[in-house]
């Protein structure tokens, strides 16, 4: 299954599991949009109503002023009259009848503005006198805003008698619609965050599933490669065993055999059988490790220098196309608690790997040193080397850098097994390699203590 298909299925499942919340989410969006529209619509209508009411008041005041003038009560009487008309309106901030002298100076203003009398009229007031047009200005007032209206007052003949200076506050508006919108937006935001969280969890599960599937695919691929390699590794010695056994059973097919040939054939059969036993032993060791059972050890005290010298001598005899350089420290008398057979297995694996991956005539260096804590074995070659990625995986089960049937023989189990053998000895193994320059393997084994056979 592709990742894209997994994501599509996850989204489908997400919507099927959370459709109630999605439906509620859609309803809240519609409700919030309606609430926002309602709030702005209400504010717009309230503003229009407020302006209309303010202008209506000005017209009422204009009529009242015209009636008052006919009573000859003077400007103070006019001021008192218009203040009486609107005294119950708490939104009135300023109300004044303004009269100008012929020289365009202030003749009458509200008592709070007495200092203006006799001074030149403001340009805004002169513009209203000359044009006869109402001027409405926005004004800040205690954070709620106000309208500043300058309204011309006409006599019955149409002549402008003066001005009404009128400032009215909008008053405090209700916060309930705004709170409603804010609450809706908070709920929507919470749902969005919830959906994002759930989706992230879903896609995180996809990522984990993808990683699991990748590991399973790699495992299946390695198992398939192992079966192919194991079949190849088992078939080769088996073919030899069957071939030599057939010659021994039917010597007449080659004109008979003498005692020397018979001995030679039996040696070949024995050697190939040993190779088969080694493969079976490797598989059994892997099975023990996979089942959590420790590799059995039979530890005794040995001089590792002698064991190393013997194994290197064996390789020198049977591997004439490689050069071997053995260096053992002078203080080789120290005894180490090890399982001799497992140590030989470690040596055979490391040296045979160095032989396999070194060119003809290549030098293989084996160094044995007694340290303060135990024994250090170093095997270095000048072979093909490995990349950092290959070094990182070289202890993995079944891992082979080249897994084709034309690659160098091996099941990809050797390094995996000796890694566990060394760990069972409470030791350590390290690998350093450069592609094209060679590989150095270092094994540290402690002096150890006697232990009972497992």
- Tens-digit pLDDT profile for residues 327-345: 998 776 778 899 998 899 8
Q: What's the confidence (pLDDT) of residue 406?
A: 39
Least confident of 283-292, 323-332, 387-396: 283-292
Confidence (pLDDT) at 97: 79
Q: What is the pLDDT of residue 16?
A: 64
Query: What is the structure's pLDDT at 93?
Result: 73
**pLDDT value of position 407:** 46
Weakest-pLDDT range from 117-121, 290-294, 375-379, 430-434: 290-294
- CATH 1.10.287.130-classified regions of the chain: 177-289
Task: Report CA-CA distances (Å) from 304 to 113, 201, 330, 351, 427.
Answer: 115, 56, 13, 15, 14
Mean pLDDT of the chain: 78
User: Are the CB atoms for 289 and 295 separated by under 8 Å?
Assistant: yes
Classify burial at 158, counting beta carbons within 10 Å of its beta carbon; exposed 0-12, middle 13-18, buried 19 or more.
exposed
Pick the CATH number of 3-173 from 3.30.450.20, 3.40.47.10, 3.30.70.1150, 3.55.40.20: 3.30.450.20
Compare 309 and 171 and report the one with higher pLDDT: 309
Would the pLDDT of 70 be above 50?
A: yes
3 state SS of 339: strand
Confidence (pLDDT) at 350: 92
Least confident of 3-17, 190-204, 291-305: 3-17
More confident residue, 438 or 177: 438
Where exactly does CATH 3.30.565.10 map onto the chain? 295-446
Model pLDDT, residue 42? 76
pLDDT score for 142 = 59
Could you tell me what percent of the chain has a pLDDT over 90?
10
Cα dist. 117→82, 99, 135, 188, 224 in Å? 20, 10, 22, 60, 108
Residues 232-258: b if buried by 16+ CB within 10 A, e if exposed: ebeeebeebbeebeebeeeeeeeeebe
Strands 323-328 and 363-370, by their bridges, are parallel
Mean per-residue pLDDT for 384-400? 81
Q: Do 88 and 97 contact (CB within 8 A), yes or no?
A: no
What's the mean pLDDT in 395-405?
61
Percent share of the chain, pLDDT over 70:
78
Tokens 């694996």 label which residue? 349
**Residue 89: its pLDDT value, please?**
66
Q: What is the rounded CA–CA span in Å between residue 178 and residue 412?
A: 72
At 403, is the pLDDT very low, low, confident or very high (cuts 50, 70, 90)?
very low
CATH number of this structure's domain 177-289: 1.10.287.130
Q: Is the pLDDT of residue 444 over 90?
A: yes
> Can you give the pLDDT at residue 325?
92
Q: Are 363 and 382 in contact (CB under 8 A)?
A: yes
- Cβ contacts of 31 within 8 Å, gap of 6 or more: 184
pLDDT at 441: 94
On the question of pLDDT at 432 being above 60, the answer is yes
Question: Could you give the CA distance from residue 375 to residue 369 in angstroms, rounded to a whole number?
Answer: 6
Domain with CATH 3.30.450.20 in the chain: 3-173
pLDDT value for 212: 79
Per-residue CA distances from 448 to 260, 300, 426 (Å)? 47, 10, 8
- Which residue has 């084994």 as its token pair? 445
Please answer whether residues 371 and 422 qualify as being in contact, where contact means their C-beta atoms are separated by less than 8 angstroms: no
Question: Tokens in use for 127?
Answer: 């513009």
What is the assigned CATH class of domain 295-446? alpha beta
| Confidence band, pLDDT 50/70/90 cuts, at residue 2 | low
CA gap 46, 75 in Å, rounded = 34
* Predicted confidence (pLDDT) at residue 445 exceeds the cutoff of 90: yes
Region 205-218: mean pLDDT is 75
Contact (Cβ atoms closer than 8 angstroms) between residue 354 and residue 383: yes
Q: Give the burial class of 131: count Cβ atoms within 10 A of its Cβ; 0-12 exposed, 13-18 middle, 19 or more buried.
A: exposed
User: pLDDT value at position 246?
Assistant: 87
Rounded Cα–Cα distance for residues 16 and 23 (Å): 11
| Per-residue confidence (pLDDT) for residue 439, from 0 to 100 | 93
- Of the given ranges (29-43, 102-116, 249-263, 372-386), which has the lowest mean pLDDT? 29-43
Summarize the confidence of residues 265-282 as an average pLDDT. 83
Give the residue-averaged pLDDT of 235-251: 84
Which tokens belong to 329? 């420290």
Which residue from 96, 103, 105 is spatially nearest to 150, judged by alpha carbons?
Answer: 96
Query: What per-residue confidence (pLDDT) applies to 281?
Result: 78
What's the Cα-to-Cα distance from 228 to each of 130, 224, 357, rounded to whole Å? Answer: 107, 6, 21
- Interatomic CA distance for residues 166 and 97, integer angstroms: 9
Specify which residues 147 forms β-bridges with: 138, 168
Q: What is the pLDDT of residue 39?
A: 72
Q: Are 367 and 378 in contact (CB under 8 A)?
A: yes
Give the mean pLDDT of 431-451: 86
Rg of the chain's alpha carbons, rounded to an integer?
52
Q: Directed axis angle between helix 414-424 and helix 259-290, to 10°?
A: 60
Tokens of 219: 């495992």
pLDDT tens-digit series, residues 9-48: 666 665 665 666 667 667 777 777 777 777 778 777 877 8
CA distances from 286 to 86, 117, 280, 400, 419 (A): 102, 111, 10, 16, 11
More confident residue, 422 or 159: 422
């Amino acid at each position: 299954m592709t990742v894209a298909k997994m994501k599509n299925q996850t989204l489908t499942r997400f919507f099927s599991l959370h459709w109630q919340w999605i439906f509620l989410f859609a309803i809240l969006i519609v409700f919030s949009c309606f609430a926002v529209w309602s709030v702005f619509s209400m504010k717009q209508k309230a503003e229009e109503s407020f302006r209309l009411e303010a202008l209506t008041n000005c017209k009422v005041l204009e009529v009242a002023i015209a009636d008052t003038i006919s009573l000859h009560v003077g400007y103070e009487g006019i001021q008192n009259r218009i203040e009486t008309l609107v005294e119950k309106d708490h939104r009135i901030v300023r109300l004044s009848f303004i009269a100008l002298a012929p020289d365009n100076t202030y003749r009458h203003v509200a008592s709070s503005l007495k200092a203006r009398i006799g001074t030149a009229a403001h340009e805004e007031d002169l513009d209203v006198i000359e044009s006869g047009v109402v001027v409405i200005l926005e004004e800040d007032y205690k954070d709620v805003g106000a309208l500043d209206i300058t309204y011309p007052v006409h006599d019955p003949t149409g002549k402008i008698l003066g001005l009404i200076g009128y400032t009215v506050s909008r008053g405090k508006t209700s916060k309930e619609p705004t709170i409603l919108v804010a609450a809706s937006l908070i709920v929507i935001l919470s749902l969005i965050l919830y959906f994002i969280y759930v989706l992230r969890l879903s896609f995180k599960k996809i990522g984990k599933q993808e990683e699991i599937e990748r590991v399973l695919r790699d495992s299946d691929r390695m198992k398939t490669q192992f079966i192919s390699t194991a079949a190849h590794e088992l078939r080769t010695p088996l073919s030899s065993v069957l071939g030599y056994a057939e010659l021994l059973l039917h010597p007449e097919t080659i004109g008979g055999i003498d005692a020397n040939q018979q001995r030679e054939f039996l040696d070949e059969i024995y050697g190939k059988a040993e190779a088969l036993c080694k493969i079976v032993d490797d598989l059994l060791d892997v099975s023990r490790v996979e089942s959590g059972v420790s590799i059995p050890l039979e530890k005794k005290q040995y001089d590792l220098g002698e064991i190393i010298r013997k194994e290197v001598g064996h390789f020198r005899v049977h591997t004439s196309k490689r050069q071997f350089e053995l260096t053992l420290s002078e203080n080789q008398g120290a005894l180490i608690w090890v399982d001799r057979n497992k140590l030989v297995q470690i040596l055979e694996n490391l040296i045979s790997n160095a032989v396999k991956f070194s060119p003809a005539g290549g030098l293989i260096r084996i160094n044995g040193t007694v340290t303060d804590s135990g024994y250090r074995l170093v095997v270095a070659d000048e072979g093909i080397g490995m990349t950092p990625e290959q070094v990182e995986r070289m202890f993995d089960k079944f891992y082979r850098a080249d897994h084709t049937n034309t690659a160098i023989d091996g099941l990809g189990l050797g390094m995996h097994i000796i890694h566990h053998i060394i760990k069972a000895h409470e030791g350590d193994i390290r690998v350093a390699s450069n592609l094209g320059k060679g590989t150095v393997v270092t094994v540290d084994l402690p002096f150890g203590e006697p232990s009972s056979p497992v």
